[in-house]
Amino acid sequence: ARVDKAGYKHFMAKEIAEQPTVLADALSAYLDGDRIEIPATALDFTKVDRLVLVACGTAYYACLTAKYWFEKLARLPVEVDVASEFRYREPPVLPGTVALFVSQSGETADTLAALRYCRDKADSIVSVVNVETSSIARESDLALPIHAGVEIGVASTKAFTCQLNVLLLLAIKAASERGHMDAADKAALLTQLRALPGLFNATLDRDGTMEAAAQKIAEARDVLFLGRGLMYPIAYEGALKLKEISYIHAEAYASGELKHGPIALIDKTVPVIVMAPHDGLFDKTVSNMQEVMARGGKICLVTDARGAAEAGEGVWQVITLPEVDDRLAPLLYALPAQLLAYHAAVAKGTDVDQPRNLAKSVTVE
């Protein structure tokens, strides 16, 4: 089927905007009441000792997020690597390992090579893909579709949130099978997850504040993104999006690493985008933020109403998102990461859907 822009200026804008619907559909494809429909025959988490997650680009940041989920919710040790390093490092893959590959296209050469490396070593090969007929899907013991629909914009958006969705469902399944999440906790979390498309809509309704912030960010030469815990991978994804389509140099750091180097870069010309819902790590992130402000740095704080009330004062820009369950925050905070980059790119007049030097799918090394 031919896909058009449906009245949007860019495919990327359309793909960002369709996330509430796409996520709701993707969820219903996997949930039957509180049952997560992933065949246990192919993936029995009671028999898994560890996971190895491998991917490239945006899919890699989905894996980095999933590490936090699998470890925290399911107490399952996870190793994560970019495919180009993993395949040549020739790491030992011990019995009891499930190797999981995440790829929108299912054709990324490095990811496919990493999968083949694991073929006779891992207990099973699982993939999380958008294209169900792809090489990576075909060569997996179990291929889990993300149901994002066709993604045209080179910078991945809805595929990222849909990858996170499947990875989170896997982590919840692992947590409950391994006895770390009881039925009531699971039901409560799934209820929150079903409400997430509504929060996506509420976030998209606040697009104006993100556009305003992005117009100022577009004037910068360098931008830093900070986050802790589940927000650390989202900081990376925000920096990647900004680099990809606006060509502004952006770097992400774990908030706690700021003092070990990047703080030297801070001055009034470097916007620092802080991803910080009011969660258990909020106070720590705020103190990192204050270290930046004390050095004249300009903070763009992406938080919720409680966070804005507690730490919004004196901050350059505040983007306030709806309150969300801590564990689901990466999905929601992906949206401002995408929208800031999108509006900055539009302000700079770049080719948003076809950024220079990039390809949607990299099928050669």
- Chain residues that interact with ligand G6P, rule: CB under 6 A: 56-59, 103-105, 108, 111, 154-156, 358-362
* 284 is a catalytic site residue: no
Closest residue to ligand G6P: CB criterion: 57
**Rounded least distance, CB 239 to ligand G6P, Å:** 13
Short-list 23, 123, 66, CA closest to 237: 66
- For 228-297, where are the E strands, in sequence order? 249-254, 271-275
- Contact call for residues 60 and 80 (beta carbons, < 8 A): yes
Closer residue to ligand G6P, CB minimum distance, 65 or 105: 105
**Rounded least distance, CB 103 to ligand G6P, Å:** 3
**Rounded least distance, CB 151 to ligand G6P, Å:** 9
- Contact call for residues 177 and 46 (beta carbons, < 8 A): yes
Closer residue to ligand G6P, CB minimum distance, 114 or 263: 114
CB atoms closer than 10 angstroms to residue 209:
16
Q: Name the 3-class secondary structure at 32.
A: strand
**DSSP codes joined into one string, 180-204:** SS-HHHHHHHHHHHHHHHHHHHHHH
Give the whole-angstrom CA distance, residue 365 versus residue 108: 9
| Type of residue found at 213 | A
CB atoms closer than 10 angstroms to residue 280:
9
Closer residue to ligand G6P, CB minimum distance, 60 or 200: 60
Which residue in 5, 284, 348, 360 is the catalytic one?
A: 360
Give the whole-angstrom CA distance, residue 97 versus residue 311: 43
Closer residue to ligand G6P, CB minimum distance, 54 or 258: 54
**Rounded least distance, CB 357 to ligand G6P, Å:** 10
- Contact call for residues 19 and 63 (beta carbons, < 8 A): no
Which tokens is 49 given?
């000792």
Closer residue to ligand G6P, CB minimum distance, 78 or 129: 129
**Rounded least distance, CB 356 to ligand G6P, Å:** 12
Closer residue to ligand G6P, CB minimum distance, 136 or 217: 136
**Rounded least distance, CB 108 to ligand G6P, Å:** 3
Cα end-to-end span (Å), the chain: 30
Short-list 137, 81, 78, 139, CA closest to 106: 137
**Rounded least distance, CB 243 to ligand G6P, Å:** 11
Closer residue to ligand G6P, CB minimum distance, 201 or 361: 361
Give the whole-angstrom CA distance, residue 125 versus residue 141: 5
Which tokens is 54 given?
């491998």
Q: How buried is 330 (Cβ within 10 angstroms: 0-12 exposed, 13-18 middle, 19+ buried)?
A: buried
Residues with active-site annotation: 360
